[in-house]
Structure 1
Amino acid sequence: MEIRDLTPEDLDDAIDLRKRSFGPVSASDRDRWRQAVLPALGEGRYLGAFDGSRLTGAARLRRFTQWWHGKPQPMAGVAGVTISPEDRGRGLGSQLMRAVVERATALGDAVSALFPATTPVYRSIGYEHAGARHTVTLPAESLRGIRPSGQVKLRRMGPGDAAEVVSVLHRVHAAARSSGPISWDEATWSLWLGNEDDFLYLAEDGFAVYRWRGDGISVDNLVAGSGETARALWSMVGSASSIAHDVVASVAPDDPVLWLLRERSKEQVTQARWMFRVLDVAAAVVRRGYPAYVACDAVVTVEDPLGSGGTWRLEFAGGSGSAIEVSEPGVVLSVNGFSALYAGVPTATLRMCGLMSGDERYDEALDTAFAAKPYMLDYF
């Protein structure tokens, strides 16, 4: 079995694998997919597993920005992991994912995330549960009751506004000290903002992306940096309530809209869980944000069979972190455990699950430094 970069000549076979793994692909979706993946080929971000000349599996590494405590860093988003039906159950998925982790590390990404179709194969190479994409169903009429409290200028947006959307996300997530949300790169945003079936609106400190879905509205993204903009955008979505029965929206678990509703006795929430992996411990610690008031240190040993393991003294101060290699005993974590800790999973949970052992004196410091409630608004 050979694992190598895909080329443009392999894309028809890759489409066939996607169809066999995820269902039919329309002509328009196929064209959009080709536009999205072509840049990845030249960047070494699309790998294929071959049995001779036959493509048996593929996986793509998407370039994302991800925020942790309001600080952005590059993130490798693993997507489109497909194995041909006749080759499943032979360990090919694990081989392919090991190559994906090695490639992501070589490309300079310190962290990676994915939405799993199944958990064991990803857990076996170091990914662990971290957060979710929360989707809430709300009565459209309840959103109509949200009244704008100021004059917020909204305008329609399109592909030419991709850079401004990215800028808004950087400002909003930094100010909110967000953990987990991602942004596509400008080229991909430009592609998504050209979808003629979407309604796209931009404010100075926020934006909304939504569309009709049957007799309701589906909100992919609604991001706001102020209460006035949040009210204006959600009220606009709710203005369709004379026709739309409900609104299905991807939101943060503590999104302000849930507190702006006049009536909130119960709601329907679904979660798409995502998994996370630290690829380079030292770089990931440096690139993450932390509470500004935290001033502490901890010694951690991370066990990673794919190569990023070692022992470090982690030091936190002024919202920043550092990792210095040492040779002294401390906390011991599998790479799964450290990835979960990085995403805010408490040390008590990690110890009870067997993902963490060793010296307990650093537990409170680690809990304080890595505290987070991670979420995503985008599925990939």
Structure 2
Amino acid sequence: MTFSLNYSSLRHPEDEQQIKKLISQCFAEFLTESETYFNRIGSQNFRILHHNDQVIAGLAIYFMGQWYGENLIPMAGIAAVGVAPEHRGKGVAFQLLSHTLEELYHSGYPISVLYPATQVLYRKVGYEQGGSYCLWELPTDTIQISEKNLPITSISPINYEQFEAIYQQQARKNNGNLDRNFAIWQKTLEVQGKQESYAYLIGEKNQPEGYVIFTQEKGTNGLNLILKDWVLLTSDSVKHFWSFMAAHRSLASQVQWRSSPMDSTLLLLPEQTAKIKYQKRWMLRVVNVPLALSKRGYPQGIETELHLEITDDLIVANNGKFCLRVSQGCGEVTPGGKCNFRLNIRGLASLYTGLFTPIQLQLLGDLDATPDAIEAATIIFSGSTPWMPDFF
């Protein structure tokens, strides 16, 4: 760079216009689509690098939460990272992300998550693979389930507040699921063009056991049911849901939904006819090591310690020794310790979410630990496969 860049939030209307144009150019969107995206997130949640009155790069932050071990962890979701074409390849994106992570650290956010366009850049600032985003597809004529023991009620108009409490009951039990903010709910429930959404509550209205929200799109062999959001809290609701999907088979040939790579509801199907059509991994960055470890939930009924030594090239305060004491599902972190579990900040990300086990991280060369420490860490970070149904 031949001149210095300054990091800030948006300062005036001209910044807003420039960041909208930058989003439009970087992500091949019409300017009207960029304005819709901008308004959904809110001007206060954008950050930029600028030189005088020229915006060089920018990104958006979703301030929300993510569930781990049934504890809700404050999380900053990073999106729309863009650099003006004439300034690419000069380390501008690295500088933008470094400033953002420094801000998040001082603001008290333990973790940050993003979907990478390229892993190389984000690994340079400490992000690593954290969990999965999967799109499943299933032929409706192979479901072959007909168990309708619950009432099902059409809901119109569709308002996220009708489903939020039901969603949270399921999300808290799945590592990586979001505590959605308003912008994420808007994105989840939005429809394109002339599509119409259909929403149904499963179970009694005063004690719902799940819901499903979907659209219908024309496919090559009939309609496709596209699930925009769905929650199932009981075995009866799972059976009724699949029966409801099967009832569409005369007109709809396929049903698509987003779920875990280990979707347990598929165990009810007679055959393995569901396929993962698309899979991507999101990345997580531990922004504040002691805060992230102390806020996470852990398995009940264990009393143990893990003595970590962390290296972090970006956030100096994360370097050093930490002792994690786990008791009755809670973690307590103090400085110091025996230093028998050494890993860098990226390796900690994949361990923290539970995407990879300590043995797998050791095999990759990301972990240096004693057998006893590996055994303790395997128990501490055990849990459900990390995933989320939301893309941002």
Normalised by the length of structure 1, the TM-score is 0.89
Structure 1 stretch 242-251 or stretch 17-26: which is displaced more?
17-26
1:185 aligns to what? 181
State how far apart, in whole Å, the 2-side matches of 1:245 and 1:63 are: 38
Conserved? CA contact 2:188–2:390, under 8 Å: no
Conserved? CA contact 2:341–2:369, under 8 Å: yes
1:265-316: CA deviation from partner (whole Å, max 9, x where unpaired): 5624421111111111111112211111322111101112213223111111
SS of 2:241 mapped into structure 1: helix
Aligned letter for 1:232? Answer: H
Q: Map of 1:189-200 to 2, 5 A cutoff?
A: 189=185, 193=189, 195=191, 197-200=196-199
SS of 2:248 mapped into structure 1: helix
Of 166, 169, 172 in structure 2, the residue corresponding to residue 168 of structure 1 is: 166
- The share of aligned pairs that are identical, in percent, is 23
Q: Map of 1:206-225 to 2, 5 A cutoff?
A: 206-215=210-219, 216-225=224-233
How many residue pairs align between the two structures? 371
1:12-48: CA deviation from partner (whole Å, max 9, x where unpaired): 3222222222212373x4453233122xx33xx3111
Distance 1:157 1:281, change over 3 A: farther
1:36 aligns to what? 40
**Counterpart check, 1:2 vs 2:6:** yes
- CA RMSD, 1 decimal: 2.3
**Counterpart check, 1:366 vs 2:373:** no
**Counterpart check, 1:377 vs 2:389:** yes
1:245 deviation in Å? 2.2
State how far apart, in whole Å, the 2-side matches of 1:157 and 1:70 are: 31
Gaps of 5+ in 2: 203-207
**Counterpart check, 1:330 vs 2:340:** yes
Conserved? CA contact 1:299–1:313, under 8 Å: yes
Gaps of 5+ in 1: none
**Counterpart check, 1:24 vs 2:29:** yes
Normalised by the length of structure 2, the TM-score is 0.87
Distance 1:227 1:113, change over 3 A: same
Structure 1 stretch 346-355 or stretch 18-27: which is displaced more?
18-27
State how far apart, in whole Å, the 2-side matches of 1:157 and 1:312 are: 52
Q: Map of 1:1-380 to 2, 5 A cutoff?
A: 1-7=5-11, 9=13, 10-25=15-30, 27=32, 29-38=33-42, 41-42=43-44, 45-143=45-143, 145-156=144-155, 158=157, 160=159, 162-174=160-172, 177-186=173-182, 188-189=184-185, 193=189, 195=191, 197-203=196-202, 204-215=208-219, 216-265=224-273, 267-305=275-313, 306-307=315-316, 308-344=318-354, 345-372=356-383, 373-380=385-392
Conserved? CA contact 1:163–1:186, under 8 Å: no
1:54-112: CA deviation from partner (whole Å, max 9, x where unpaired): 22211111022211122222211111111122211111111111112112223321111
The list of structure 1 runs, each at least 4 consecutive aligned residues, that deviate by more than 6 angstroms after superposition, is none
State how far apart, in whole Å, the 2-side matches of 1:148 and 1:274 are: 36
State how far apart, in whole Å, the 1-side matches of 2:237 and 2:353 are: 29
